[in-house]
Amino acid sequence: MSTTSSSTARPSVAELPPDVPRTFGEYLRSFGPGILAVLSWLGTGDIVSAGVAGGNYGYALMWAMVLSLVVRYLFVSMIARYQLCNPRGEGVLDGLARLHRWYAPFLFFAVLFWGHLSSSYMLAGVGEISAQISGVGTKFMWEVIWVAIALSLIFRPAYARVELLFKILLGLLAASLLGCALWVGVDPVAAVRGVFAFEIPPQHGPFGAVLVAVGMVGAVGGSLVNLVYPYFIEQKGWRGPAFRRLQRYDFILAVVAMVAFNLAVWTLGAELVHGTGRSIGTIDDLANLLGGVLGNAGRLLFLLGVFAAVFTSIVGAGLGLACLASHAWLRWRAGNNEPLAVSYREAPVYRYLVLWIIVSPLVWLGRAEFISLTLIANSVTVVMIPALAGGLWCITAKGAFIGEQYRNRWWENAVMALVFALALYGVIEAVQSILTQLGLL
């Protein structure tokens, strides 16, 4: 692919890239894409999962969650390095398409499937939480309101406005989740032991602790939503190796925040549920337990944090996944080595994809059983993880793709091999689990 083809594949965010920061204050003011990425990843599923794990295993399995996020940091940093440092100036998807011609259509249809179902779940959550917090209107009314607000943010090419909103909601999340954890109380000795002792507690529930840990590490590394981060980098205006250090610091800060939020929710599960005979299955379960301990103020504080997590996931998915799918569509039509006639945010297909991801979930309201939909979506997502992990490993390990200077070092290849192996193991276990539930095994 020529330099011309890769440059036309990128949206014209600004005529000139921003200056590379030189002082500590300039670095702080420049951070943003990492915050957009992690808040796009963090949703009700993550919050419930952390609460359930804390309820089932107490503090003992915390190390698996921390390890999974460390692996995600390393994995996504390699993706970002490709985006910034490859000699063609091309996007990550362009590299995957050169690796194999089926990557572009594969990612296009994967986004259509996953974007619709994940937004369905998130939209139902944000409507329910808004109705509970406000005590006004119906769930459907709030869903329509937040869809309209999300569309106004995504359709208008104002990255800076979205970044500012995410930073504000990041502060709300910190006050909510960390505040609730401190309010309930944390056992610092047990928490430190849970993070660093690498304990394997006895099995609780249908899945053993080892499988839970493997699933956490394998799933986050090859997840489809990891591919939205390069589009946030691009919209920020970061292009070229000069921005590599800034990108690393940006993402470190964001992942540290995500670790803190997950540990906070895990702590709530460990303190409120573990050893009590209670269980957590939904956000409402955890909110009601908090209400019983902290009163209505604590419950409201927690729900505000969940709202921040869910709404940022909706906006982030619409913005990032629509860019990914639009890019995949244009690359699929143009071929692997041809220039794109238009940038993917300016193509008409981009708006159609935003509507599909954000608006189409409204058709399911009151007409679908979301537990089944979530099971199907997660099963298909697990099955496609090895294809993503393997492809990303190839383009970051080979000098022919990323350039000899920036290709993976031995330990980075070891991380990628670990994620790929765990992803394959996760597929086998997921298929066996589904077949068992269906009575076929």
Q: Is the pLDDT of residue 326 over 90?
A: yes
Nearest C-alpha neighbor of 384 from the set 241, 224, 209, 185: 224
Q: For residue 48, which of 374, 317, 314 has the smallest C-alpha distance?
A: 374
Question: Over pLDDT 70: what percentage of the chain?
Answer: 83
State the average pLDDT over residues 40-59. Answer: 81
Q: Which pLDDT value is given to residue 13? A: 43
Average pLDDT, the chain: 82
Q: Which amino acid is at 264?
A: A
- The 3-class SS string of 304-355 reads HHHHHHHHHHHHHHHHHHHHHHHHHHHHHHHCCCCCCCCCCCCCHHHHHHHH
Confidence of residue 47 (pLDDT cuts 50, 70, 90): confident
Residue 122: per-residue pLDDT:
83
Query: Considering only CA atoms, which of 363, 338, 378, 99 is closest in space to residue 215?
Result: 378
- 343 has a pLDDT exceeding 50: yes
Residue in 363, 291, 376 with CA at minimum distance from that of residue 124? 363
Residue 380 Cα distances to 93, 145, 230, 427, angstroms: 20, 30, 23, 9
In a domain, 413, yes or no: yes
Query: For the whole prediction, is pTM greater than 0.85?
Result: yes
Question: Would residue 18 count as lying in a domain?
Answer: no
Helix segments in 58-187, DSSP class H: 62-85, 92-99, 103-134, 139-155, 159-173, 179-184
* Residue 212 pLDDT greater than 80, yes or no: no
Please give the DSSP secondary-structure letter assigned to residue 175.
I
User: Does any domain span residue 7?
Assistant: yes
Report which residue type is found at 161: R
pLDDT at residue number 87: 92
Q: Is residue 343 part of a domain?
A: yes
Rounded Cα distance between 316 and 312, Å, is 6
Position 373 scores a pLDDT of 54
Is 423 contained in some domain?
yes
Counting the structural domains of the chain, the total is 1
Res. 438: pLDDT tops 60? no
State mean pLDDT over 61-82: 86
Higher pLDDT, 293 or 441: 293
Tokens 């190390």: give the residue.
63
The whole-angstrom separation of Cα 362 and Cα 424 is 34
pLDDT of residue 340: 80
> How many residues comprise the chain?
441
Residue 334 has pLDDT above 80, yes or no: yes
Domain of residue 333, residue span: 3-13+23-437
Question: What gap in Å lies between CA 344 and CA 333, rounded to an integer?
Answer: 12
Whether residue 90 has pLDDT greater than 80:
yes
Gyration radius (Cα) of the chain, Å: 21
Q: What is the mean pLDDT of residues 359-371?
A: 68
The verdict on residue 402 lying in a domain is yes
- What pLDDT, on a 0 to 100 scale, did the predictor assign at position 429? 67
| pLDDT tens digits, 381-424 | 666 778 888 899 999 999 999 999 999 999 989 888 887 887 77
Residue 311, domain member (yes or no): yes
CATH code of the domain in which 62 resides: 1.20.1740.10
Cα torsion through 191, 193, 199, 205, rounded to 10:
-20
Which range has the worst mean pLDDT, 245-249, 316-320, 326-330, 425-429? 425-429
pLDDT bracket for residue 311 (50, 70, 90): very high
What is the CB neighbour count within 10 angstroms for residue 193?
16
